[in-house]
A and B are shown apart, each in its own frame.
Chain A
Amino acid sequence: MTDTLQIRPEAAAAPKPAIPLPTAAARAVTAAGAVLTAAAAFLSWTYSSQFPGDLTVTGYPGGLQWITFTGGLLTLLYLLVGYGTPGLRGLAPGGAEGTTVILAVGAAATTWFTLIAISVELGGLANLTTGGWIAGIASLLAVVGALGLPRDGQHPRGHGLGVLLYPGKRPDLRPARPLHAAVEVVAVLLTLAAALGVFAYGVDTSYPELFAGFLILAGFAAWALNRSGDFGRLGEIMQRHRVLASVGAFVAAGLFPFTQTSSNAEANANLGVSILIFAATALGLNIVVGLAGLLDLGYVAFLGVGAYTAALVSGAAGTAFNVQIPFWAAALLGAAVSGIFGVLLGAPTLRVRGDYLAIVTLGFGEIFRIVVQNLDGTSGPNVTNGAIGISNVPDLNIFGFDFGSAHDFGPFSIGRFANYFELMLLFTAIIVLVFARSADSRIGRAWVAIREDETAATAMGINGFRFKLLAFALGATLAGLAGTVFVHVNYSIVPDTFQFAGPTPPNSAFLLAAVVIGGMGTVSGPLVGASLFFLLQAKLSFLHDYQLLLFGITLILFMRFRPEGIIPNRRRQLEFHESQTEGGQEGPTPELRTAEA
């Protein structure tokens, strides 16, 4: 830290708080605001129970009030951390003040979002009761207090989005001394449990307002935890307990269907399995794009190849071949056929300039759809039943376990989609394993080397063409594998599913965005990206018409302002900001040197 400050004189002068308040007063105001915000969640905010979630009840929070309640509590928590409360001090290694500001703003944002949503939907501010106004004012009070808190130092030079920089950047902390092993294990388990809880809550939100409120707070909280350095610390701990963390993550994910007990359980499990399918597919694409640096714009076609292959051998009526082979064979077949298509497409194109691949794959994506549409018996031989597609794909039955019906496990009833969820989770685990292990191996290093500088890579003895083809074919194979489950989950398959861009996933633009915005070259990036995008389109259906537009704009903005994605790969982050550190040859920037130490 200190050398960073010395080298950057403009950061050395501790900046003043935005609102000049005595520290004690600022703390008191923030505390009062945060407590009141949380408490106001127990009041009635509106007269009418028309607004979803019923916010008319005094004494018990409903719907969005739970979110503002959480926001208030989190603000209070980090205020106490900053105050030096014993036992909490370690919670914000990177500084609590900036974190408190972010959380206070987040709590205010959810509160005012709720108030505005009530006013808009019910027709006017008159629909707010005193309770609502108290919550609104209290949340603003917390923000005012937080802006008066003494600032904790780390402020990058403000440019462009100055306001967003007020809370400061995430500090690059030196790795902390390991905690007691048992404490770390508990921390890992708690983190996983919390992640499962947050995810399950998000999936279970039953109306768009609640999901939006959830998303706002989740976004601010993630920012705050990153700013506070907690994510960094947790990352170190996870790294030390890698096996526990990854196995634990899959166990936690496997428990997801068991958290869904409401009447929406099946619908939520359906969301869950769809997320897994697209996340796994995106991860396959990440090998191609993130590791090998090849832009594949028709990737969804490989999902389609796998899906059609599985459908054709599933015994579904109306297909060309009336065969039914066991699912394990169908899955392998789908993956293999998809891989073969990958090779057929990659072999001629990967020899030439990298950019051409993008356009050839884009073409392939379109052609796949057209061909499948034409193989209908009129425009071509009947293989895929044309535009009508293949329907009535039978449910899987593996070792007598019928995926189509519900099964009871003790007190839990696990329905059809939940069955597929667990199956797809297994597939996802395989794909994660393939990705992680190949990335960290001779093969993965060759891919990254090719991405970095293909000429230098070949001069090191790497057969550029062969390794690019391998990445491309492996990506295709994994997508094909995901496709075989996809078709069974959905009962049916039609060509129009496989577009370059469309309002509903899967489509190539969606997958690419999941990878790029999630974080290229990382395991968790595409998983987070796919979950986020899938939930966004599933939950905020009122955005349906503007979804693609937002998509396009998001891509542009991310490339402009955060090209490394939500979850940056350390290498990638450096690579993308190369141009901003001028030249990049004269040595590390101070922060990086600190980070490497």
Chain B
Amino acid sequence: MHELPQNLVNGLLLGATYGLIAVGYTIVYGIVQLINFAHGEIFMTGAFGALSVYLGLGSGTSMWIAIPLMLIGAIVTSTVIAVLTERLAYRPLRNAPRLAPLITAIGVSITLQQLVWGFYPSAKSPRVFPSLPGGPFHIGGVLIQSADIFVVVAAVISTLFLAYFVRSTRTGRAMQATAQDPDTAKLMGINTDRVIVIAFALGAGFAGIAGVAWGLRYGEIKFDMGFLTGLYAFTAAVLGGIGNIYGAMLGGLVLGLVQNLTAIYIADIPGMSQFSSQSWSSVWAFVILILVLMVRPQGLLGERVADRA
């Protein structure tokens, strides 16, 4: 029997987490045309930042107090690391050939992962993450954990905040301007360096929130959790149309659904039942990415951009 509603809900929840991370890829790409490979690791460090805060609190602390503090810990950790990497690793390469910052990003990614693995206390194996009290709730045959509610609330608030920020603040508009034409933006008096830092910081903040969400949902975090998740999130960003922040969220949701629904529908295709297990889901996500690139390379909400000769 297919548990379609449950799978839909799970897919959307997973997708919302992807979306939160994908926003970071998309903002940074939109402004500096850099695939920030290290963004998955920023997400991971956020989760560890939150865990550190939790461990620092007394064991009796109520989760209702701990959660906001952990969120702050996650956001601060992610943001600080992202801003530092931008400042130290990417900025000096602003005018270098395309490949240089991309390779640097890989270096940053490996470095961050290894720093956590090697120096965070007992991070060589998964570390237990606290869970939210209450739940699970049964709503119309669907099982919902309290962490799931956290994910929904976080994703909705974050998206609304981002929409407000980009549309209605000076900095947000400066970001849009820089994304469209950095040189002109500079001429118009926009401090593009500042805008770039803010883009990194903003993306990192969302990744930090995603880190907490991830920890709460799965109950454990690991030094390499950012690698595949980052890959999926990037896929989500491409799927939605890279550079478009709503696209990132949409792409995340679509990807999350695909991963959960392939699990049940592929089994229905004659002869394919073996390919429906969880171990194949990443393969299908990847196939989706390739299909999207073939059919609609600009993504769901993206615009085709032409090279100005």
Contact = CB atoms under 8 A, between A and B. Distances in A.
> Do A and B interact directly, with beta carbons closer than 8 Å?
yes
Contact of A379 (B277, B293, B309): B277
A554 B282 contact: no
B95 A579 contact: yes
B35 interface: yes
A293 to B, nearest CB: 6
B121 to A, nearest CB: 15
Given A360-B290, A363-B231, A379-B279, A556 B33 contact: no
Given A348-B290, A348-B293, A355 B107 contact: no
A322 B267 CA distance: 30
Interface in B256-307: 274-275, 277, 279-280, 282-283, 286, 289-291, 293-294, 297, 307
A360 B293 CA distance: 10
A74 interface: no
Given A373-B279, A556-B104, A576 B111 contact: no
Given A360-B289, A374-B279, A555-B107, A576 B297 contact: no
A553 interface: yes
A300 to B, nearest CB: 14
A563 B96 contact: yes
Interface string B85-116: 00001001111111111111011111111110
Contact of B100 (A348, A370, A563): A563
Interface in B213-246: 227-228, 231, 234-235, 238
8 contacts: A345-B290, A349-B290, A359-B235, A366-B231, A371-B283, A546-B114, A559-B93, A578-B97
B133 interface: no
A583 B100 CA distance: 18
B118 interface: yes
A380 B280 contact: yes
A552 B280 contact: no
Interface of B: 29, 33, 35, 37, 89, 92-104, 106-115, 118, 227-228, 231, 234-235, 238, 274-275, 277, 279-280, 282-283, 286, 289-291, 293-294, 297, 307, 309
Interface string A318-361: 00000000000000000000000000010011011111101110
Interface string A496-521: 00001100000001001000100010
B35 A560 contact: no
Contacts of B235: 359, 363
B227 A576 contact: no
B103 A370 contact: no
A575 interface: yes
Interface of A: 289, 293, 295, 297, 345, 348-349, 351-356, 358-360, 362-364, 366-367, 370-371, 373-374, 379-381, 455, 459, 500-501, 509, 512, 516, 520, 545-546, 548-549, 551-556, 559-560, 563, 575-576, 578-579
Given A295-B99, A579-B95, A555 B293 contact: no
Nearest to A582: B95
A348 B295 CA distance: 9
B26 to A, nearest CB: 13
Nearest to A452: B97
Contacts of B102: 295, 355, 358
A509 B106 contact: yes
Contacts of A551: 107, 110
Contact of A546 (B35, B95, B118, B227): B118
Given A351-B294, A549-B110, 15 more contacts: A345-B290, A355-B102, A356-B293, A359-B35, A359-B238, A363-B286, A364-B286, A366-B228, A374-B277, A455-B307, A500-B227, A520-B99, A551-B107, A556-B107, A563-B96
B179 to A, nearest CB: 15
